[in-house]
């Protein structure tokens, strides 16, 4: 058995085709993301990967929707999103496949 800490991984990403990872694979990425009130992510899209975000705790604004505990968002390749944390919380995120350099910022 090996025990690790979430804080030791880059922005909460645990599984995928990157280091460090608990499991290295190109099939998918998985992360537990912690956000503080006011944290934002720039509008971006993925050309290859689908992204599923599950709101575990907190409240978030994504595009024109307010999301809270239990909400699930599926973003298809090419579909953009802008994200802001309204109340501190956690999200669980799955992207498939784990495609390197597949994040495109929209200015």
Distance CA 59, CA 72 (A): 12
Q: What are phi and psi of 11, to 5 degrees?
A: 50, 30
Output the pLDDT for position 36.
98
Per-residue pLDDT at 107: 85
- Taking 70 as the pLDDT cut, the residues of the chain under it are none
Complete domains list, the chain, with CATH? 28-105 (2.60.120.10)
Closest Cα to residue 27, out of 42, 48, 41? 48
Asked if residues 88 and 33 have their Cβ atoms less than 8 Å apart, the reply is: no
pLDDT reported for residue 4? 96
């Amino acid at each position: 058995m090996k025990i690790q800490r979430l804080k030791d991984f880059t922005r909460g990403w645990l599984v995928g085709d990157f280091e460090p990872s608990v499991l290295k694979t190109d099939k998918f990425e998985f992360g537990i993301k912690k956000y503080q009130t006011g944290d934002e992510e720039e509008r971006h899209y993925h050309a290859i990967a689908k992204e599923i975000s599950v709101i575990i705790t907190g409240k978030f604004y994504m595009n024109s929707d307010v999301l809270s505990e239990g909400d699930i968002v599926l973003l298809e390749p090419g579909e953009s999103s802008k994200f802001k944390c309204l109340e501190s919380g956690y999200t669980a995120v799955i992207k498939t496949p784990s495609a390197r350099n597949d994040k495109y910022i929209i200015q």
